Structure 1
Amino acid sequence: MKQKQLNLMKNGKGFIAALDQSGGSTPGALEDYGISEAEYETKEKMFDLIHSMRTRIITSPSFSSEYILGAILFKQTMNSKIAGKYTAQYLWQEKDILPILKVDQGTENKKNGVQLMKPMTKLDQLLGEAKEYNIFGTKMRSIIHRANPKGIKDIVAQQFEYGKKIYEAGFIPILEPEVNIKSEDKLDSEKILKEEILKSLKNLADEKYIFKLSIPSTANFYQEIIEHPNVIRVVALSGGYSQEAAVNKLSENNNMIASFSRALLQDLNVDQSEKEFNMVLKNAVNKIYKASIT
């Protein structure tokens, strides 16, 4: 692990851009960008279009290390090129932005109020590829829908189990046990989640993790996790909140930074001129950055 990169993630000012829409979420991302499903007939064309969108974002002067610490990528993006360089290399070499890779293979069906991650049967191969591309860290997501103690305990145990393996392979894992923002008992879920995370952190040796969590119902609720010596950062997902709502809620939480996707990209459109596109992106980046440095 390069100490420069670790120091940047731990101490740098800014946020993480989530550009990791996978096969299932790509059609929705393209629709939001102004490209309907009628405009492509194959998965290859779909992935070409989403990579063009990501390339436009990443190469924009508004996508700058002055405000952005890292970017989360989908495997397809990692294997694709921007201006002749693989995306991860372009991010670090040209932008000084840390490349992070989504490694989960999706979630299981709901059980005990949660969706665990599917078994990561391709993890070793994916981490081998990630090493070749000089990926800094990884991200994996599971979902909590209800305040079910067994389900949440299982989620946390699974996240830490894979996290340890990923850390030992030389990457900084982002553990993402997302709490559904529409859950009727979101606060109760957060209480159980925090307790389980703190229990698991007590059992660590030298492992270092980042946590990606839904913006809590109570401001500064995750402060104990943020301050734990084994935790590099706690970052917030927008989880379906609008940009305005996500920014306002995040700004109430000290030392918690953004890792937004939808809230970052919501106003971008394929038909915008380069000047308009860059201004819209700059406006979003500035808002999210300000909320991330509270």
Structure 2
Amino acid sequence: MSKQQQAEQVRTANGFIAALDQSGGSTPKALKLYGVDESAYGNDAEMFGLIHDMRARIVNSPAFTGDRIIGAILFERTMDSDIGGKPSATYLWENRHVVPFLKVDKGLADEADGVRLMKDMPDLDALLEKAAGKGIFGTKMRSVIDAASTSGIAAVVDQQFAIGKQILGHGLVPIIEPEVTISIADKAEAESILLSEITKQLDALPEDQQVMLKLTLPEAANTYKPLVDHPRVMRVVALSGGYSRDEANDRLSKNTGIIASFSRALTEGLSAQQSDADFDTALADTVESIYAASVAG
């Protein structure tokens, strides 16, 4: 059964999770970094078509396989599109042996109490049902912490786990992502509060349930080691959060048991203008460096 194979791969395999889930707000920036200017598209449909072409090119590159890449996080439009003549999630698993995840949040609410909660997701049950039907293994949703606010961080973690339980109810594994902004002065303090709040929620989960965590690389190495070791955690992955790939890899390699789930750091150095050979070489080098940092810890 592929679901059990997928769970085993996510839980134990060496490698990292590729984040290919740029959404409407971040797509123009991602395309610009890829060498596609805003003048190349006239509307959202054309813009999303171009980003899908970029994602398909990455997924089809020889380095993008389960040997190095455990899973990939997709944007909903990517899940609804085809790669190689198959639905994207099916193609990822059957052709690349990469476990498919889906970004489910609808973006961030306005900042309050030092944090940005997720916007309401009234259609989440329908989306989860569709995702399960398309062979998606798990989901990802992001909130942001901008200050070491105990009440704000508690609110972020409460919301993440409440929705996480809804996701578990559909037989999917949630990646809970309370991102700590890398530039804040009280980052280490925020991370200490976050560790405490996540631990409380994990301790309250039933024994037969597991979630994944996606966390900003911490100021003090191994801050999150208790979460890596927690029986309710399937895997802890790290976001690059605006660090350069070199710095993200360096920080990652110092955190035992945490693997990468990079987005911008994964596509750094790739360009629409590259020949396929140059593109494949650049991506292979990137994959190798992120893989090495993921298995070093």
Q: Distance in 2 between matches of 1:259 and 1:122?
A: 26
Give the drift of 1:138. Answer: 0.2
TM-score (norm 2): 0.98
**In the alignment, residue 151 of structure 2 is paired with which amino acid?**
K
Give the drift of 1:38. Answer: 1.1
Q: Distance in 1 between matches of 2:3 and 2:57?
A: 28
Give the aligned partner of residue 183 of structure 2: 182
Q: Distance in 1 between matches of 2:204 and 2:59?
A: 38
Q: Distance in 1 between matches of 2:9 and 2:236?
A: 14
The question of whether the paired residues in 2 share the 8 Å contact of 1:79 and 1:87 is answered with: yes
Secondary structure of 2:189 counterpart: helix
Q: CA RMSD in A?
A: 0.8
Give the aligned partner of residue 90 of structure 2: 89
Give the aligned partner of residue 108 of structure 1: 109
Greater alpha carbon shift after TM alignment, 149-158 vs 118-127: 118-127
**In the alignment, residue 202 of structure 1 is paired with which amino acid?**
D
Give the drift of 1:248. Answer: 0.7
Give the drift of 1:191. Answer: 0.4
TM-score (norm 1): 0.99
Give the aligned partner of residue 172 of structure 1: 173
Deviations 1:235-255 (A, max 9, x none): 000000111111111011111
Within 5 Å, give how 1:70-81 maps onto structure 2: 70-81=71-82
Q: Distance in 2 between matches of 1:137 and 1:226?
A: 18
Percent identity over paired residues: 50
Give the drift of 1:290. Answer: 0.5
- Which of residues 258, 270, 273 in structure 2 aligns to 1:271? 273
Give the aligned partner of residue 49 of structure 2: 48
Deviations 1:120-141 (A, max 9, x none): 1110111111012100000000
Q: Which runs of 4+ in 1 moved over 2 A?
A: none
Give the drift of 1:49. Answer: 0.2
| 1:242 is the counterpart of 2:244 | yes
Structure 1 unaligned blocks of 5 or more = none
Secondary structure of 2:142 counterpart: strand
Q: Distance in 1 between matches of 2:28 and 2:286?
A: 22
Q: Distance in 2 between matches of 1:168 and 1:42?
A: 37
Q: Distance in 2 between matches of 1:227 and 1:145?
A: 26
Within 5 Å, give how 1:1-294 maps onto structure 2: 2-205=3-206, 206-294=208-296
Q: Distance in 2 between matches of 1:95 and 1:68?
A: 9
The question of whether the paired residues in 2 share the 8 Å contact of 1:164 and 1:207 is answered with: no
Q: Distance in 2 between matches of 1:83 and 1:264?
A: 22
